[in-house]
């Protein structure tokens, strides 16, 4: 069963300053007439005329109060949603003193930018690892009709949907990628993750007439029960990557050293090396360069020939 969606439209209202002045003038005049009529009766004036004057003055005063009920104020970045006996009659965004049908209900809706931080939640990432995650959400009401009639409480709706979207996002991506460099991760690709969070939130917030201006992960870490193990894993991965880089550089240095020894600057100082001596030289040099600890090379003072 489909339901009709109420969207915002401009309400029929007018400036309230002239109405306020008219209410004050007519109200004071009715009070003055009431006083005159009562005094006339007290002084022995015509009873029918005095009673008529009192009734007219009271009716005018009541009518003036009724008209004055239709006055309301709107601050900058604020709107009023007008309804008449449950029927939506439009929204008024014009700041200042306004007047509309006194029988209308005028609900105030703020159009100012709001923000909040979701609660830090424990949720499993795409790899099943428990993580702690929270986000900050910046939002603003753009359609007052949907905000009031589309959901029960749009402020509570945005908060709950934001926490749900953050949890869904955490389940969609791994915290970190150990083997696949091209995989999008929560810790490694914050811009992509925040963009996906913003898109997900906006889809949910459309029903409440809300525009999400920004959604950003603010708290992201492993849960305490796995934090130590994951830290050791990160350290191991960093050590492996560093050792691979050191070995790569050492291989290039050994190749250049062997090449320069064999070529020399002239034919006289060139040092030809056979395969065994190249292997021994490369092994010793690799040990010196790639070793974690300071090495103590053994100096051969004898001959290199067999």
Write out pLDDT tens, residues 171-193.
Answer: 988 887 766 565 788 888 889 99
Mean per-residue pLDDT, 118-128: 88
Give me the residue spans of the domains in the chain: 14-109, 114-222, 234-290
Write out pLDDT tens, residues 255-276.
Answer: 777 777 777 666 666 767 667 7
Mean per-residue pLDDT, 216-233: 75
Highest mean pLDDT among 15-29, 120-134, 172-186: 15-29
Percent of the chain residues past pLDDT 70, beyond the cut: 78
Mean per-residue pLDDT, 146-157: 93
Predicted pLDDT of residue 258: 74
| Phi and psi angles of residue 117, each rounded to the nearest 5 degrees, phi first | -110, 130
Contact 98/11 with Cβ under 8 angstroms?
Answer: no
CA distance 217 to 196: 11
Which has the minimum average pLDDT: 209-213, 235-239, 300-304?
300-304
pLDDT class of 297 with cuts at 50, 70, 90:
low
Which has the minimum average pLDDT: 5-14, 61-70, 122-131, 235-244?
235-244
Predicted pLDDT of residue 111: 95
Predicted pLDDT of residue 234: 67
pLDDT class of 1 with cuts at 50, 70, 90:
very low
Tell whether the model's pLDDT for residue 290 goes beyond 50: yes
Predicted pLDDT of residue 54: 84
The whole-model pTM stands at 0.70
Contact 125/217 with Cβ under 8 angstroms?
Answer: no
Predicted pLDDT of residue 110: 95
What's the mean per-residue pLDDT of the chain? 83
What are the residues whose beta carbons fall under 8 Å from the beta carbon of 212, sequence distance 6 or more? 137, 138, 139, 198, 201, 202, 205
Mean per-residue pLDDT, 235-257: 73
Mean per-residue pLDDT, 234-251: 72
CATH fit for domain 114-222, picks 3.40.50.2000, 3.40.630.30, 3.30.479.30, 3.40.50.1820: 3.30.479.30
pLDDT class of 10 with cuts at 50, 70, 90:
very high
Predicted pLDDT of residue 88: 94
Predicted pLDDT of residue 93: 94
Predicted pLDDT of residue 251: 79
What are the residues whose beta carbons fall under 8 Å from the beta carbon of 126, sequence distance 6 or more? 171, 172, 173, 174
Tell whether the model's pLDDT for residue 306 goes beyond 70: no
């Amino acid at each position: 069963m489909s339901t009709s969606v109420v969207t915002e439209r401009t309400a029929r209202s007018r400036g309230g300053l002239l109405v306020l002045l008219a209410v004050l003038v007519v109200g004071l005049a009715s009070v003055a007439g009431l006083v005159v009529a009562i005094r006339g009766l007290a002084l022995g004036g015509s009873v029918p005329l005095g009673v008529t004057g009192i009734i007219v003055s009271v009716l005018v005063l009541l009518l003036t109060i009724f008209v004055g009920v239709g006055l309301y104020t709107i601050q900058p970045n604020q709107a009023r949603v007008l309804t008449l006996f449950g029927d939506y009659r439009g929204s008024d965004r014009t700041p200042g003193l306004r007047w509309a049908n006194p029988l209308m209900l005028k609900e105030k809706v703020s159009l100012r930018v709001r923000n909040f931080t979701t609660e830090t939640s424990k949720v499993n990432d795409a790899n099943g690892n428990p993580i702690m995650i929270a986000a900050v959400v910046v939002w603003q009401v753009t359609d007052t009709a949907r905000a009031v009639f589309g959901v029960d409480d749009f402020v509570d709706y945005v908060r709950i949907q934001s926490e749900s979207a953050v949890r869904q996002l955490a389940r969609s991506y791994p915290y970190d990628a150990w083997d696949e460099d091209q995989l999008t991760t929560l810790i490694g690709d914050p811009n992509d993750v925040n963009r996906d969070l913003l898109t997900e939130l906006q889809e949910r917030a459309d029903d409440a007439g809300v525009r999400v201006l920004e959604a950003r992960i603010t708290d992201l870490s492993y849960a305490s029960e796995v934090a130590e193990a994951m830290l050791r894993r990160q350290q191991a991965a960093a050590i492996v990557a560093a050792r691979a880089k050191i070995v790569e550089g050492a291989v290039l240095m050994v190749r250049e050293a062997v090449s320069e020894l064999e070529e020399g600057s002239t034919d006289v100082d060139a040092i030809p090396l056979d395969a065994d001596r190249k292997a021994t030289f490369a092994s010793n040099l690799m040990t010196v360069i790639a070793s974690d600890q300071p090495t103590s090379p053994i100096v051969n003072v004898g001959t290199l020939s067999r």
